[in-house]
Amino acid sequence: MSSTATTAASVTVSAETVEQTSPQRATTTQQADVAIIGAGVAGCALAVALGRQGRRVLLLERSLAEPDRIVGELLQPGGVRALEKLGLQDCLEGIDAVKCTGYTVIYHGKPELLPYPAEKDKNGVEKGPAPEGRSFHHGRFIMKLREAARATPNVTIVETTATALIKKGDQRAGPSPQDDDDDDERVIGVETTNKAGETEQFYAAVTVVADGYASKFRREYHPHQPRVKSRFWGLEMIDAKLPTPYHGHVLIGDGAKLGPVLMYQIGTRETRALIDIPEHVAAAASAAAQASGDNSALAGVKLHMRDVVLPSLPECVQPAFKAALENGRLRSMPNSFLPSATVRARGLIILGDALNMRHPLTGGGMTVAFNDVVVLRDLLAPERIPSLSDADAVADAMRTFHWRRKQAASVINILAQALYSLFAADDENLRILQRGCFRYFELRYHETPVALLGGLIQRPTTLIYHFFAVAFLAVGVMFSQTPWYLWPLALGRAVTVLYTACVVIMPYVFVELRR
């Protein structure tokens, strides 16, 4: 056995192992109930959940070094609750995580505080303290999740790179627990290559693809592919003074020049700034930088941040932002949208960002992932499916999973895309809706929208109701700011604004309704 496989096997002895050798390469074969590709948020949580149920789990990860990313740093209160349901709340301890009690939206320089609301009884009396989210360095949180997986009985962690999924009909398919299955397209495992260049084959009744936003296996099994309209460029500010402590901050300006800016504390001294830059804005900034004689790769982005973003920030933040821009590391991530879909391949589950993505504006990705794991854990429980080799039972469970997960995921998905359209408003109709949204907050109708954003309310109909309440309020605000003799013209504008509201939200609603 390779040294990597030997180390992994020392974690647990529940996986059967067979070695094969040839003059060209060494091959290690292991069998388990579940093989999970990706030891990230979704993969680790699922490994722990299934391992605690007595399933034999192989958790495969390309690199077990601490990840270094600029997103996946804010866990909404709904995600914290899901983490508690999974018994993983201790993973938030010892990583310098910072509590998040709500949001501050800064609309053209005017702030509005939006705290997470406490749950209330039927008489309107608060049942307890207001819920809290957590923000942190992504890599530290992942390492705690991996520690939890490593400490879970029946879970084996292997550092190896997944290269292909093994199907029943593949010529390379070796001994597997599904020899009585006639479906040649059934996924029965994973072929990988370890750091020593050795080939490893991991067979399992169920294979889970949880390899993140850049999944290499999605294209063959997922009917949709990610759509990217902008990128988040991230800076890490040191000792920044945010206007409202323990709040995430959303800065909204002129959408034609300035996309939404997010700021939230991720440590005692560190604060993350994420600047959304649409592709056409980035291209224009690069052209301006080149015209001034600067042809460096990031010249346009830095020019945009210095000339457009920096002056728009609250004065208390500007020194730390300027220092980070001059001396810090500038990194980016694509802002992707990927609707979920039923995975029809037997023996295969796709999970996490490999399955479903939304704009990270609302910080809902990890909340969706943990809620998905809770649902999947319950559907695959041994009392429901004694053996995961029962392909028909697993397929039925996955059809149920597709719809049951939407109770939480659809709210976060739709809200993220709709809010981005409003906050990045680049035409007059969207700007009218944007003003209506901020006025909605000013009138203190924020409790339910913030609870939806935080993953605390999981009712899509409630989201749609409040979105159109904002749209009609926006029309009302427009009329109040229009001289009475221009109301006939304003009536035409009102129709186009309401039509725009439908165009903004309804396509995402329809996406969530389809299989």
pLDDT per residue over 317-340, tens digit each?
999 999 999 998 899 999 999 999
Alpha-carbon span 397 to 399, nearest angstrom? 5
Residue length, the chain? 515
Q: List C-alpha distances in Å: 331 to 180, 195, 289, 326, 398.
A: 50, 27, 18, 13, 36
Phi and psi at 443, nearest 5°, equal -80, 5
Place of tokens 């969706």: 368
Rg of the chain in Å (alpha carbons): 25
Q: List C-alpha distances in Å: 404 to 223, 371, 459, 462.
A: 20, 10, 12, 17
Decide if 124 contacts 95 (C-beta within 8 A).
no
Q: What is the pLDDT of residue 2?
A: 37
Q: What is the pLDDT of residue 293?
A: 72
Mean pLDDT across the chain:
90
Band (1; pLDDT cuts 50, 70, 90): very low
User: Is the CA virtual torsion 176, 177, 181, 184 positive or negative?
Assistant: negative
CATH, range 1-68+136-226+338-408: 3.50.50.60
* Out of 73-82, 91-100, 291-300, 394-403, least confident range: 291-300
Domain ranges of the chain: 1-68+136-226+338-408, 227-336, 427-513
Angle at 90 between CA 88 and CA 95, to 5 degrees: 120
User: What is the residue type of 430?
Assistant: L
Structure confidence by residue, pLDDT tens digits, 219-256: 999 999 999 988 999 999 999 999 999 999 999 988 77
Decide if 337 contacts 417 (C-beta within 8 A).
yes
Q: What is the pLDDT of residue 260?
A: 95
Q: What is the pLDDT of residue 8?
A: 35
Alpha-carbon span 467 to 511, nearest angstrom? 17
Band (283; pLDDT cuts 50, 70, 90): confident
Q: What is the pLDDT of residue 328?
A: 84
Query: Is the confidence at residue 311, as pLDDT, over 60?
Result: yes
Hey, what are 8's tokens? 């992994």
* Out of 69-73, 412-416, 498-502, least confident range: 69-73
Decide if 188 contacts 203 (C-beta within 8 A).
yes
Band (478; pLDDT cuts 50, 70, 90): very high
Q: What is the pLDDT of residue 16?
A: 46
Band (425; pLDDT cuts 50, 70, 90): very high
The closest alpha carbon to 160, from 123, 195, 121, 114, belongs to 195
Q: List C-alpha distances in Å: 382 to 58, 329, 359, 386, 397.
A: 18, 47, 35, 4, 12
Q: What is the pLDDT of residue 515?
A: 65
Structure confidence by residue, pLDDT tens digits, 159-213: 999 999 999 888 555 555 545 566 788 999 999 999 999 999 999 999 999 999 9
